[in-house]
Structure 1
Amino acid sequence: MSDAELTVTVTGPVATVVIHNPARRNAMTPAMWRRLPVLLDGLEADPAVRVLVLTGAGGTFCAGADLGDLDELLAAGDGSIAVAAEERLAAFGRPTVAAIEGACVGGGCQLAVACDLRLAAVDARFGVPPARLGLVYPVPTTRRLAGLVGPSAAKHLLFTGDLVDADRALRIGLVDEVLPAAALADRVAALTATIAERSRLTVTAAKEIVDGRVDADRIAWWHAQVRDSGEAREGVAAANERRPPRFDWSPPAPR
């Protein structure tokens, strides 16, 4: 294994992407930012994958981004490779879960916020540091953060650049659950197993609708999928018969 890379494993319906850069507390290098959308494209094309987990190796999620060439970074603005990777993660067609231990700072927090759900260990620490560096946080990233935690909490994180602990992150809505570090992996496994068992039609439509990525035609298409797929009939029959449902809807090729 190289010193800095993203690794992927697929176990049943769950794909896990691991951020691995131990020399820099799993900071994302330019090569890693560029690699992430490619990995996500491949996983989205795999019909067996129903849930994606993003995590870090060795008890640290991601301590930020390797800023590399500052002039290149300043010239890129909102067109940076980090923003492109974040946007691809946010648009991933399956549910995404960030499993967070240790530092989740800068680019790490950017990736975590782009996931659908965030589960954190009690030792997790979160920070958004551009004010410490004299940088402007990208517009898509800032809006995504504010949409998650609200304007006031987003401004507090952005204005101060201070780290917040897992309990505060939970209170402001930055994470969904906080668990003992030893219990995090089991809880992530249980949550992803539950999601994988649910109707993929329902879950996929819900993600698009909550994220605001549907228009009237797309909503009509989803309702047609419900009528034509038999998912609802199977779900109701399973509930009446007190048995697990046998959902078999699969998403068509990406639009």
Structure 2
Amino acid sequence: MDAARDAALRYTIADGVATVVISHPAKRNAMTADMWRALPELLAGPAADPAVRVLVLTGAGSTFCAGADISSLTGDEDPQALAVAAEEALAAFPKPTLAAIRGFCVGGGSQLAGACDLRFAEEGASFGVTPAKLGIVYPASSTRRLARLVGPAAAKYLLFSAELIDADRALRTGFLDELLPAGQLDKRVAEFTRILVSRSQLTQAAAKEFADGRTGRDAHWAAQAAGSGDTAEGVAAFLERRAPVFRWPTAD
């Protein structure tokens, strides 16, 4: 049986949260060429859907993603170009993104997790960036993103050695935002995404651009804030001790 036939990106929406599941059970959820190609187009849907407030990326079963399935590539394909295009599409997603990680998060899996805004993992997860095992020059954009995330020294350790690190070390380096006990990841992700869904999309969208280093948009976001009514609603809700009903980006 061709294992690639069972490889897919599965996508669902519920309660404002879009969940993308990397599924390739025969290869520990390694990304095939078709999966890399499919991800940017798949992300375009929830990016434009006003019902989606948050995106969660995870892996099927007990593994997040063990990298790229090299056997799925044809001779004329550039595997780095495919991976970088998918990584950049994920990084550019305009709403909060969270990687929910179990098991192996290695190679291309670390690329995808690193492109998310936040990363939660379960105890027992392993992380690695492994191009040095194959003599590959890691993409410049991916290297810079990793260095911004964990710092230059930790990025060099991962890239020079291609060694796996455990979840405790990934948390210490800043690659992870939260580390959960076994069996608690899904509960915590559901709880945290409910919090994100309840917050101001205006605040989140502006903060994401600013934190990611995008410049020249100060006036845009000042105008958005002035016209949205969200600040007035937030203050009123606080004083009235009720949940706010933020309207941006649907405010007239």
> Same fold judged by TM-score > 0.5?
yes
Aligned 8 A contact 1:60 1:100 in 2: yes
Structure 2: distance between partners of 1:13 and 1:77: 33
Q: How does 1:19-98 map to 2 (within 5 A)?
A: 19-68=22-71, 69=73, 72=76, 76=78, 80-98=81-99
Aligned 8 A contact 2:228 2:249 in 1: no
Aligned 8 A contact 2:53 2:197 in 1: yes
- The one-letter code sitting in structure 1 at the alignment partner of 2:176 is V
- The one-letter code sitting in structure 1 at the alignment partner of 2:169 is R
- The one-letter code sitting in structure 2 at the alignment partner of 1:211 is D
**1:123 Cα deviation (Å)?**
1.1
Give 2:209's aligned residue.
208
Aligned 8 A contact 2:7 2:25 in 1: yes
Give 2:224's aligned residue.
225
Structure 2: distance between partners of 1:62 and 1:18: 10
- The one-letter code sitting in structure 2 at the alignment partner of 1:177 is E
SS of the counterpart of 1:17?
strand
- Which segments of 5 or more consecutive residues in structure 1 lack a partner in the other structure? none
**1:181 Cα deviation (Å)?**
2.5
**1:72 Cα deviation (Å)?**
4.0
- The one-letter code sitting in structure 2 at the alignment partner of 1:250 is P
Give 1:161's aligned residue.
162
Give 1:101's aligned residue.
102
1:121 aligns with 2:122: yes
Give 2:242's aligned residue.
243
**1:228 Cα deviation (Å)?**
1.1
Structure 2: distance between partners of 1:185 and 1:170: 18
Structure 2: distance between partners of 1:251 and 1:179: 36
- The one-letter code sitting in structure 2 at the alignment partner of 1:228 is G
Give 1:132's aligned residue.
133
Give 1:150's aligned residue.
151
Deviation per CA, 1:20-55, whole angstroms, max 9, x where unpaired? 000000000000000000110111111100000000
Aligned 8 A contact 2:229 2:247 in 1: no
Give RMSD over aligned pairs.
1.6
SS of the counterpart of 2:57?
strand
SS of the counterpart of 2:183?
helix
The number of residues matched between the two structures is 247
Normalised TM-score (structure 2):
0.94
Q: Which range moves more in the overlay, 83-92 or 240-249?
A: 240-249
1:171 aligns with 2:160: no
SS of the counterpart of 2:61?
helix
Q: How does 1:171-210 map to 2 (within 5 A)?
A: 171-210=172-211
Normalised TM-score (structure 1):
0.93
Per the alignment, do residues 135 and 72 of structure 1 end up closer, same or farther by CA in structure 2, a change over 3 Å counting? farther
Superposed structure 1 runs of 4+ greater than 3 Å apart = 68-73
**1:70 Cα deviation (Å)?**
8.0
Structure 2: distance between partners of 1:187 and 1:250: 27
